[in-house]
Amino acid sequence: MSDIAIRPLSTYEEYKQVLELERLVWGFSDPFDMVPPVVFTITVKRGAILLGAFDGDRMVGFSYSLVGMKDKERQVLQWSHMTGVLPAYRGGLGLRLKLAQRDRALELGYDLIEWTFDPLQAMNAHLNVAKLGCVAEEYHRNVYGESTSALHRGTPTDRLVAQWHIAEPHVVRRLATPVALRARASEVTDAPLANRVATVDGWRVCEDMDLSIDTRRFWIEIPTGWTDLQREVPEVATTWRMQTREAFESYFARGYRVVDFVLARDGGFGRYLLARKDDA
């Protein structure tokens, strides 16, 4: 993977290659779900960051962010709309694209990149929170409506907003320390679990969610294999969506935010660590 080159994109022919990657990575069947080359043309001229990853002459991944502003704070930021990698090239290239995006944003004077991600996609949560050091304190319901993507179809497109404060010491430390080498205090590892989970017919099922926790930190569990879960047992997937929606919305409203994520691949689950903002 080290021979994959990452560089900015600037031509219409390259933008058309990105469009094809959108179709291949997300499996979109409706062109209205995709960003067309003409949008890349204009936004790149006005501050958007569009990077391509190349295996020789072939584009195998990309990352696209555009200039945004937070309504209340009036803070200018980069809004990362898409990062995608062909299946055969996954296993580190997505992380490299995000780091290249960060480097470019720092060069341009930004200190914040934001994007949305599905809170039930454990691998994305692992990348965004555990590896990159993002936090999350915003939850939005059905952001993209009914999607034609095979990755999104079946349940409402609820999303967390990842906040990546790219210049903060917390992020610098997180990027410098491999996940496997991080130590956690006993109060973190012993923090309570908000949901009661069981395994039924080989699938992890969310049976109940405790919304009354008042400790400094606690965990919310999610299953791995979310795309398969939506396809094979949609009723179980819908329960997960509704239960976690209620939990995130309730605890965010009470001043908690997501500060970490652990992935237990062999166990078939991941867990978000939530902490009070003034204690995180």
Q: What is the per-residue pLDDT across 207-264, written as a single tens digit (0 to 9) for each? A: 999 999 999 999 999 999 999 999 999 999 999 999 999 999 999 999 999 999 999 9
CATH 3.40.630.30 residue window(s) in the chain: 5-176
Report the CATH superfamily, name and number, of domain 5-176: Gcn5-related N-acetyltransferase (GNAT) (3.40.630.30)
269-276 and 76-85 strand pairing: unpaired
Q: Is this prediction's pTM over 0.85?
A: yes
Q: What pLDDT digit, counting tens, does each position of 67-114 carry?
A: 999 887 789 999 999 999 999 999 899 999 999 999 999 999 999 999
Contacts of 162 (CB under 8 A, 6+ apart): 114, 115, 116, 117, 128, 129, 132, 134, 135, 136
Rg (CA), the chain: 19
Q: Which residue has the tokens 């699938």?
A: 203
